[in-house]
Chain A
Amino acid sequence: MSEAPLRARATLRLAAVMAAAVALLALLAMGLQYRLVETRLMQAQRTLLAADLDGLAALYDQRRIIALREAIAYRAAAPGGEMLVLLDRQGKVLAGTRADWPEGLVAQGQGFTIDPAQEVALDGARWLVVARDLPGGFPLLVGRSLAPVDATLAALQRGMLGLLAALLLAGAGVGWLAARWVMGRIGRLNALADRVAAGDLDARLTGPRSGDEFGLLETHVHAMLDRISNLNRATHRLSDTIAHEMRTPLNRMLQKLSRVEGQDDLAADLRAEMRQAIRVFDSLLDISRAEADQGQGGGLVPVDLSTVAQEVWELYEPLAEDKGLQVGLQVAPGVQVLGDRNLLAQMLANLLDNAIKYCSAGDRLELQLAAGDPALLRVIDTGPGLPDGLKDAAFDRFTRAERDRARGIQGHGLGLALVRAIALRHGARLSLPAVGQGLTVEIAFPRAPGEGGVAG
């Protein structure tokens, strides 16, 4: 589950893009609405201002400046959202809601029409004002505060920002939920694929299958797995049949060879050649069987790997000593793994045999087994190591280094392939750690289930 956010990256990305798109559209819609509200509110203020101007114009028509002065003085006594200033010829305030003419404001025109109007900032607020020079040199200022408009727009902005944040949050939440849901569905399939990759070809998804595209995918995967299982079974049958059908004629040849008289050396050579052929043949069958059984727990029982290592080492140690190798054994006691004793012994035998074959007198050969999880088995030699470029292929079937052929080292290139197949059969990981000299083969065994703590 901890990996799910990482694995769900594609889904999350999709959800993020969708959330962003929704937010963008909402932003556009809100922008339009904002513009509309702003225009309407401004128009309303303009209409109010126009009405004020009409009123003042009517007074001016009756009694000129005097009427204006009285009306302005009367209205300045109870100031509201309006600005009124009337000056005399010398620029002295005759009446007004403020004590002076705003600095820098230039009177335009003479009539009481709304146009041209100007927006000015005074005392920290916006005003829509009309400044006029009435006939005879009386400047008049009539204005309406835009503070209510600004307050409404600010409130609108706050609301929209909040809405946007809520939208983004909701988008992320929905995206996360969708990713979780998709991952849940895909996770089933991924878990199945992992089990199959680990070798359990008969693994299938249980439970009801939905009718959607995920269900369809599950159906397809199941059909594919069924086909693979059938092929695998057919291969097993084929290899068993080949084993039988090839051994019978080889058997007859051996029987007839024993009747050859007088050419003992030739007969012995032929027998050795046939034994070699049978060995190649057995190794191939062993490899394919071990590979086919890979990851299947069936047939594996708790085995004391320490004992097996010790036994096989005892078998090969004299051979190594006779060749003049310096040998060393470090095996932790009581290391239990789930395994097949015979296969494990064969794997160790192949590794030691291989090392002894390539090392020459004076080289060092060591077998190590360290307890723990995983239990580490190492075969270390200071021989010639693997040639460059062969590391990857060394464990493939029939891989042999050119120099071996040149040096006349016998082999069919199946020993290490069988080692790998057996390691995989046991769910163990095989690696070739980089070392200064020679070859080190490391096999990491998973701890046997049910074994409490670190064996030791």
Chain B
Amino acid sequence: MQDRILIIEDDAETAAAVAEVVAELGCEAHHRATLDDGIAEAGAGDYRVIVLDRMLPGGDGVAAMARIRTAGSRALILVLSALGRAAERVEGLEKGADDYLPKPFEPSELRARLRALLRRGTMQVLDNDLLAFGDLEIRMKARTVHVKRSHVPVSPKEFELITYFARNAGQIVTRMQLLENVWNLHFDPGTNVVDVHVGRLRRKLEEAGSPAIQTARGEGYIFAPLGAAG
């Protein structure tokens, strides 16, 4: 069965762009243009993800998240808003959004984030101690990484980085996602700081014989330890 994604957005063009990304992911897009319609629809249909604008006819999307929950929806919520400054993003996340993407956004960024949200609902294995991808093994409790049975020394940050990659294995992960989830920073530093960290981790893995991290040109990185990019 196709996953259903609800788009609550008053700008038709943006809604169309989001719908296009949703279609690319193989999901079914439904669009509502006002907050009240959106909340009603969220309660009625079984949605996996809701893409929610903030400044909508009828009110602020972030303030309406509680109403969406009250309406009975258990969908994950991605706020997509022109109110994109760090403080507003943090506010949105604190008030219960599962992700927050500022406008203007690039379709690839939205795609990566929607994928991550769609996966989140299905992944339960992560609580296990061992994450194994062929000959690459990550032990959560011991916080160690092994490639072909040999230990790869990683810094604590690099360990968090590789676990985030592992959680989104096979998916494109953007630099912004890494900054937000690994470093908990909600601003765009505008330099290649993230690249340096990923580059170091990537070299360590490659020296141990695992080309697990690949660059997705112009979009971010992809963790594909088994060779096949999703």
Residues of A within 8 A of B (CB): 240, 243-244, 247-248, 250-255, 258, 264, 268, 271, 274-276, 278-279, 282, 285-286, 289, 299, 311-312, 314-316, 318-319, 322, 340, 342-343, 345-346, 349, 353
Given A255-B17, A311-B183: A319 and B191 within 8 A (CB)? yes
Q: Report yes or no: B192 in contact with A319, Cβ–Cβ below 8 A.
A: yes
With A and B bound together, what is the CA distance between A33 and B85 in angstroms?
83
Closest to B104 in A: A251
Residue in contact with A286 in the complex, picked from B55, B85, B105, B200, CB distance below 8 Å: B85
15 pairs of residues in contact across A and B, judged by CB atoms under 8 Å: A243-B83, A255-B13, A258-B106, A258-B107, A275-B188, A285-B85, A286-B85, A315-B189, A315-B193, A319-B191, A319-B193, A340-B87, A342-B90, A349-B189, A353-B191
Q: Is the interface of B mostly helix, strand, loop or mixed?
A: loop
Q: Report yes or no: B200 in contact with A254, Cβ–Cβ below 8 A.
A: no
Q: Is B34 an interface residue (CB 8 A)?
A: no
Given A248-B103, A258-B107: A279 and B82 within 8 A (CB)? no
Residue in contact with B104 in the complex, picked from A253, A285, A286, CB distance below 8 Å: A253
With A and B bound together, what is the CA distance between A253 and B187 in angstroms?
22
A254-B106, A342-B186, A349-B185 given; 20 more Cβ-contact pairs under 8 Å: A243-B82, A243-B83, A244-B82, A251-B17, A251-B104, A254-B104, A254-B105, A255-B14, A255-B17, A311-B184, A312-B185, A315-B183, A315-B185, A318-B197, A340-B87, A343-B86, A349-B189, A349-B193, A353-B189, A353-B193
Closest to B83 in A: A243
Closest to A246 in B: B82
Closest to A314 in B: B157
Residues of B within 8 A of A (CB): 11, 13-14, 17, 55, 82-87, 90, 102-108, 157, 183-193, 196-197, 200, 217-218
Closest to B13 in A: A252
Closest to A349 in B: B189
Q: Which residues of B contact A318 (CB under 8 A)?
A: 193, 196-197, 200
Given A255-B14, A255-B107, A271-B106: A342 and B86 within 8 A (CB)? yes
Residue in contact with B218 in the complex, picked from A244, A271, A274, A342, CB distance below 8 Å: A271
Q: Report yes or no: A342 in contact with B104, Cβ–Cβ below 8 A.
A: no
With A and B bound together, what is the CA distance between A251 and B82 in angstroms?
9
Most A Cβ at <10 Å: residue of B55, B86, B104, B157: B104
Residue in contact with B196 in the complex, picked from A244, A252, A282, A322, CB distance below 8 Å: A322
Q: Which residues of B contact A250 (CB under 8 A)?
A: 103-104
With A and B bound together, what is the CA distance between A189 and B197 in angstroms?
54
Q: Which residues of B contact A311 (CB under 8 A)?
A: 183-184
4 closest A-B pairs (Cβ-Cβ)?
Answer: A251-B104, A247-B82, A255-B17, A250-B104
With A and B bound together, what is the CA distance between A103 and B106 in angstroms?
124
Q: Which residues of A contact B83 (CB under 8 A)?
A: 240, 243-244
Q: In whole Å, how far is B194's beta carbon from the nearest beta carbon of chain A?
A: 8
Q: Which residues of A contact B107 (CB under 8 A)?
A: 254-255, 258
Q: Which residues of A contact B184 (CB under 8 A)?
A: 311
Closest to A342 in B: B86
Q: In whole Å, how far is B213's beta carbon from the nearest beta carbon of chain A?
A: 15
Q: In whole Å, how far is A254's beta carbon from the nearest beta carbon of chain B?
A: 5
Closest to A286 in B: B85
Given A264-B218, A311-B183, A342-B185: A247 and B104 within 8 A (CB)? yes
Closest to B182 in A: A315
Closest to B187 in A: A346
Q: In whole Å, how far is B62's beta carbon from the nearest beta carbon of chain A?
A: 14
Residue in contact with B55 in the complex, picked from A244, A268, A276, A345, CB distance below 8 Å: A244
With A and B bound together, what is the CA distance between A250 and B104 in angstroms?
6
Given A243-B82, A271-B218, A285-B85: A279 and B188 within 8 A (CB)? yes
With A and B bound together, what is the CA distance between A332 and B189 in angstroms?
25
With A and B bound together, what is the CA distance between A285 and B82 in angstroms?
13
Given A264-B218, A353-B189: A247 and B103 within 8 A (CB)? yes
Q: Which residues of B contact A255 (CB under 8 A)?
A: 13-14, 17, 107
With A and B bound together, what is the CA distance between A314 and B194 in angstroms?
11
Q: Which residues of B contact A342 (CB under 8 A)?
A: 86-87, 90, 185-187
Q: Report yes or no: B104 in contact with A278, Cβ–Cβ below 8 A.
A: yes
Q: Which residues of B contact A264 (CB under 8 A)?
A: 217-218
Q: Report yes or no: A349 in contact with B187, Cβ–Cβ below 8 A.
A: yes
With A and B bound together, what is the CA distance between A311 and B106 in angstroms?
28
Given A315-B185, A346-B187, A349-B185: A251 and B103 within 8 A (CB)? yes
Q: Report yes or no: B188 in contact with A282, Cβ–Cβ below 8 A.
A: yes
